[in-house]
Amino acid sequence: MIVLENINKTYINGSPLHVLKGIDLNIEQGDFVSIMGASGSGKSTLLNILGILDNYDTGDYFLNGKLIKNLSESKAAEYRNRMIGFIFQSFNLISFKNAMENVALPLYYQNISRKKRNSIAMEYLDRLGLKDWATHLPNQLSGGQKQRVAIARALISNPQIILADEPTGALDSVTSSEVMKILSEVNRQGMTMIIVTHEAEVSAHTNRIIHLKDGVIG
Ligand code: ADP
Ligand code: MG
């Protein structure tokens, strides 16, 4: 499903920083993978490339057999919206929209009516145990609830892959474990999942651990 061949990435603002140094990686459909490494090791850079949020310099990235390289912004957005769901450490919810509206947002870009969007969003909130919180704004929710809203939002467009960057980084250990159980369950239902973390308790939930050190897979 995901094939990376000799991916290199250098940031050039100030002195050049060679962040990814020849990454080869193969991820199959249904995999549950964690990417571990110290802060600054290039985890987010790698995840952003996988999510077509950022470009790489050399090498090849194939997603479902398609070469993801030098895409136009509109093509990149189309692939992203169709194939990838994102979960972030800081939840990235829209503060003036309630839980239901946040979950429904990806469907807005698929020309689905508001009524239909909201009714589908309610199904996903229900699935995440948040039906009673649908009309609450993000600042009226706990960290764990906010991340469950974000998970529902990632799932609603029925992506093929979920990419999560430190999804438990802002949560206490009990809530963190609850969120990982939810992600495990989503994976058991067939979703390919890639999680960036520096916490061993988090990676222990996954089926495969990839160690990134100084831009190289160890
Ligand atoms: P991680 O997620 O493992 O902490 P990152 O991929 O965020 O690591 O960053 C790897 C290195 O690249 C760090 O040294 C970071 O400061 C640097 N870096 C990240 N993003 C940029 C950027 N947009 N411009 C320049 N340097 C960056
Ligand atoms: Mg990071």
How many structural domains is the chain composed of?
1
> Considering the domain boundaries, does residue 194 fall inside one?
yes
pTM over 0.85: yes
User: Does residue 54 fall inside a structural domain?
Assistant: no
Average pLDDT estimate for 206-212: 97
User: Does any domain span residue 151?
Assistant: yes
Q: Is the CB of 39 under 6 A from ligand 1?
A: yes
Evaluate: CB of 40 within 6 angstroms of ligand 1.
yes
pLDDT, tens digit, for every residue of 140-191? 999 999 999 999 999 999 999 999 999 999 999 999 999 999 999 999 999 9
Amino acid 109: pLDDT:
84
Q: Which atom, in ligand 1's list, is nearest to the CA of 165? A: 2
Residue nearest to atom 26 of ligand 1 (CA): 11
Of 119, 118, 128, 145, which Cα lies nearest the Cα of 183? 128
Question: Beta strand 66-67 with 2-11: parallel, antiparallel or unpaired?
Answer: unpaired
CA of 116 to the centre of ligand 2 (A): 35
With CA atoms as reference, report the closest residue to 84 among 54, 129, 121. Answer: 54
Q: Is the CB of residue 43 below 6 angstroms from any atom belonging to ligand 1?
A: yes
82, part of any domain: yes
* C-alpha to C-alpha distance for 50 and 64, rounded to whole angstroms: 12
Out of 18, 45, 46, 57, give the residue to mutate to test ligand 1, the one with the largest number of ligand atoms within 8 Å of its CB: 45
| Strands, E assignment, the chain | 2-11, 17-27, 32-36, 58-63, 66-67, 84-88, 161-165, 192-197, 208-213, 216-217
CATH number for 133: 3.40.50.300
Sign of the four-CA dihedral 15, 20, 21, 22: negative
Parent domain of 123: 30-41+73-217
Eight-state DSSP code of residue 69: S
Q: What is the pLDDT of residues 103-128, one digit of tens each?
A: 999 999 888 999 999 999 999 999 99
Selection from 62, 38, 32 nearest residue 50 by Cα: 62
φ and ψ at residue 215, rounded to 5 degrees: 85, 10
